[in-house]
Chain A
Amino acid sequence: MSTPPLLEVRDLVKHFPLPRTFGDALAGRPRRAVRAVDGVSFSMAGGETLGLIGESGSGKTTLGWVVGHLHPPTAGRLLFDGADATSLSGSALRRWRRNVQTVFQDPVGSLDPRMRVWQIVGEPLSAQRNMGRAELRNRVGELLPQVGLPPDCLDQYPHEFSGGGRQRLSLARALSVEPRLIVLDEPTSALDVAVQAQILNRLVELQRERGIAYLLITHNVSAVRYVADRVAVMYLGKVAELGSVRQVLEAPVHPYTKALLAALPVADVRRRRARYRITGEIPTLVDPPPGCRFAARCPFVVDLCRRVEPLLTELAGGGGRLVACHRAAEVADVRPETFVTSEPTAAPSPPTGPGSVVS
């Protein structure tokens, strides 16, 4: 490739230090930290959508916030258009914000209740350069129809909008500076299904019109399937699997991806068969055990997994597909449908009938 990718993330690490307890200090133990993001690398091309999925606590939102420069990274590098953008401040950071904007999960909380629509949506614009009130209102009036809002609601307050309307305001705010990358942090998870579809459609249309790249952080697999080109599956601060949406969601290789997909409710009861079982909670991010982070819950675990951490490597013949699993080749053909994620109701023998329910 001759042109650098739009965004490149190299070994990004974000630790949140924990307060050192008195006992730790006495015992001479080092300061501990929550390893929210622990060495993540990926790159994105312009106009591309990368989905980032994983369960709560996997570090996907933290990763998005680091990319959006809302948290400084602990280590690693961030490159935008091939130029280093790891630690920015002042006017350099302001220029970066013209290119990268973030849409937040909470459509209620992310809009200042005391500001009117034109002030909220125009905020990134007026932060970039001094704009007169009339000019700003004009510009916002043009933006609102693009996200499906009437242009005459400039003087309303956010509480006068529905959840979907507020998320449209957030979107309009992000679009106002015509960024090249938008970090979408769970943009639809607070909305009901019909509104989710409207917002996702709007996102896809906007991308087609303007070639904006999206980093779509979500636990909604169907949203990823619908919007994203590629998808990265995160588990405990690391990427478990990365590849095109079709590859990853139709033929998952990493056991965690399989388990994640198996946990989705499926309408067809006959598809449900339980051969492998994922048990337990997601382990703590404070002191992750050596070896593979999924080892404690993985049905395919072998001794090697507990000792040596698998690296994210390209799958043989996988077409740019990256998996972090020692047994990737062996487990590749196991279907996700053969997983259950919790104790089946009809223990102890592995239930095979249609009656087994997965919660």
Chain B
Amino acid sequence: MADAKPAVPPGPPRRRIGALRVIGDLITVLRANPLTLAGFVLVALIMGTAVLVAGVPFVSGLFTGHSVEVLPYAPNQISTAVKQGPSLAHPFGTDNVGEDIFSQVLYALPLDLFIGFAVTGFALLVGGLLGLVAGYWDSPGTVGGFSSVAILRVTDVFLAFPSLVLALAITAALGRGTFPAILAIMLSWWPYYVRLTRGEVLAVKHLPYVTAARGAGVSDLRILRRHILANILEPLTVYYTMDVGTVLITFSTINYVGIGVPLTVPEWGNQIVLYQDFLLNLPWTVAAPGLAIFITVLAFSLLGDGLRDILDPRSRRALTRSAGSASAGSEEA
């Protein structure tokens, strides 16, 4: 705030600067795009629930010595209320031994979300970094050109296998367990980000403004950060957000096939495996985890779609302007 006071005439009421303005634009854009808004709200709800489910017992356990549960029932708590359909007491019904499906689905949420973010995060970090290097320093005959070729060939080897097949193979090799399953998906996921990032870098790095920055004397690292990374962050973020859902589906698939997380660990894919025999008698037992996967994937896809509009300053302004006609033109003169 203090630095926004140059020796420049202040002029008419200036537009808000920086983060404040982005948030302001965000709100306007969200009001104009119900689907993006739905994505935002759903993701916020999902994340909030996950934090509550995982966080409250942990934190209360730390401070009071006994953990306070948020869920109405423990995930494997047997009761006499067996095979019940959805009701107020059991929103998603109960299974053949009286376990509450609602509690089970929510209990699995933090793990599934964590896996979605961990895998895409790892892929984005590793793949993105390799893609940046391979895309930016690629003139043949130089050290950069050699490293670029090396990175891409290794990537190609991984890409030769469909990610699901590769993940299945790695899980089978590593043995059953939560950590091997996560590792397997991570190892099969990053190559896509190398290709994606490299392609975006190649598209941007010969644009005139990158040349202009070189001509201005800006260093390579700074060009990479300020001009290239800043301009490819938008497609990467969009892809990343949508990919969280894809990872969830892959993880559930590995578990469904039965070589991922042990069946004792509550996880949506596992729950579907466990209950698939009851599909006809107790349909809610399968529908609930399936619906959870569906809603989570949908939420992140909607969010990713909306982010595309919000992150681009051009379309953000356009959206703001079109929305501004409805909500008092506080921006712009």
B234: min CB distance to chain A, Å:
9
A110-B211 in contact (CB<8A)? yes
B71: min CB distance to chain A, Å:
44
A123-B216 in contact (CB<8A)? yes
B313-A112 in contact (CB<8A)? no
Known: A112-B209, A114-B230. A97 touches B215 (CB 8 A): yes
- What residues of chain A lie closer than 8 Å to B6, measured between beta carbons? 134, 137-138, 141, 154
A133-B217 in contact (CB<8A)? no
B313: min CB distance to chain A, Å:
5
B30: min CB distance to chain A, Å:
21
Known: A97-B217, A114-B230, A124-B216. A137 touches B8 (CB 8 A): yes
Annotate B82-108 by CB proximity to A: 1 below 8 A, 0 otherwise: 000000000000000000000000000
B214's partner among A70, A114, A170 (CB-CB below 8 A) is A70
A269: min CB distance to chain B, Å:
40
**Contact residues of B between 191 and 237, Cβ < 8 Å to A:** 207-209, 211-219, 222, 226-227, 230-231
Closest 6 CB pairs of A and B: A97-B217, A109-B208, A124-B216, A141-B8, A110-B208, A127-B217
Known: A112-B227, A138-B7, A157-B313. A128 touches B217 (CB 8 A): yes
A171: min CB distance to chain B, Å:
12
B208-A106 in contact (CB<8A)? yes
The answer to whether the Cβ of B9 comes within 8 Å of any Cβ in the partner chain is: yes
B218-A127 in contact (CB<8A)? yes
The answer to whether the Cβ of A336 comes within 8 Å of any Cβ in the partner chain is: no
- Within the assembled complex, what's the spacing in Å between the Cα atoms of A133 and B4? 9
- What residues of chain A lie closer than 8 Å to B317, measured between beta carbons? 157, 159-160
- Within the assembled complex, what's the spacing in Å between the Cα atoms of A119 and B215? 15
**Contact residues of B between 35 and 59, Cβ < 8 Å to A:** none
A44: min CB distance to chain B, Å:
18
Which residue from chain B places its CB closest to the CB of A106 in the assembled complex?
B208
Give chain B's interface residues, CB within 8 Å of chain A.
3, 5-11, 14-15, 17, 207-209, 211-219, 222, 226-227, 230-231, 313-314, 317
- Within the assembled complex, what's the spacing in Å between the Cα atoms of A58 and B227? 31
**Contact residues of A between 97 and 131, Cβ < 8 Å to B:** 97-98, 101-102, 104-106, 109-115, 123-124, 127-128
Annotate A72-90 by CB proximity to B: 1 below 8 A, 0 otherwise: 0000000000000000000
The answer to whether the Cβ of A94 comes within 8 Å of any Cβ in the partner chain is: yes
**Contact residues of A between 127 and 165, Cβ < 8 Å to B:** 127-128, 132-134, 137-138, 141, 151-152, 154-155, 157, 159-160
B222: min CB distance to chain A, Å:
7
Which residue from chain A places its CB closest to the CB of B5 in the assembled complex?
A134
Known: A137-B6, A138-B6, A152-B8. A98 touches B217 (CB 8 A): yes
Which residue from chain B places its CB closest to the CB of A101 in the assembled complex?
B215
- Within the assembled complex, what's the spacing in Å between the Cα atoms of A109 and B227? 12
- Within the assembled complex, what's the spacing in Å between the Cα atoms of A106 and B207? 10
The answer to whether the Cβ of A346 comes within 8 Å of any Cβ in the partner chain is: no
- Within the assembled complex, what's the spacing in Å between the Cα atoms of A154 and B15? 11
The answer to whether the Cβ of A68 comes within 8 Å of any Cβ in the partner chain is: yes
- Within the assembled complex, what's the spacing in Å between the Cα atoms of A154 and B231? 20
25 A–B contacts, CB within 8 A, in A order: A69-B215, A97-B216, A102-B212, A111-B209, A112-B209, A112-B226, A112-B230, A124-B216, A124-B218, A127-B218, A128-B217, A133-B3, A134-B3, A134-B5, A134-B6, A138-B7, A141-B6, A141-B8, A151-B8, A152-B8, A154-B6, A155-B17, A159-B314, A159-B317, A173-B216
- What residues of chain B lie closer than 8 Å to A97, measured between beta carbons? 215-217
- What residues of chain A lie closer than 8 Å to B209, measured between beta carbons? 109-113
B9-A70 in contact (CB<8A)? no
A70-B211 in contact (CB<8A)? yes
- Within the assembled complex, what's the spacing in Å between the Cα atoms of A285 and B247? 52
B3-A104 in contact (CB<8A)? no
B313-A114 in contact (CB<8A)? yes
- Within the assembled complex, what's the spacing in Å between the Cα atoms of A160 and B3? 23
Which residue from chain B places its CB closest to the CB of A150 in the assembled complex?
B11
Annotate A167-186 by CB proximity to B: 1 below 8 A, 0 otherwise: 00010010001000000000
- What residues of chain B lie closer than 8 Å to A128, measured between beta carbons? 217
Which residue from chain A places its CB closest to the CB of B7 in the assembled complex?
A138
- What residues of chain A lie closer than 8 Å to B208, measured between beta carbons? 104-106, 109-110
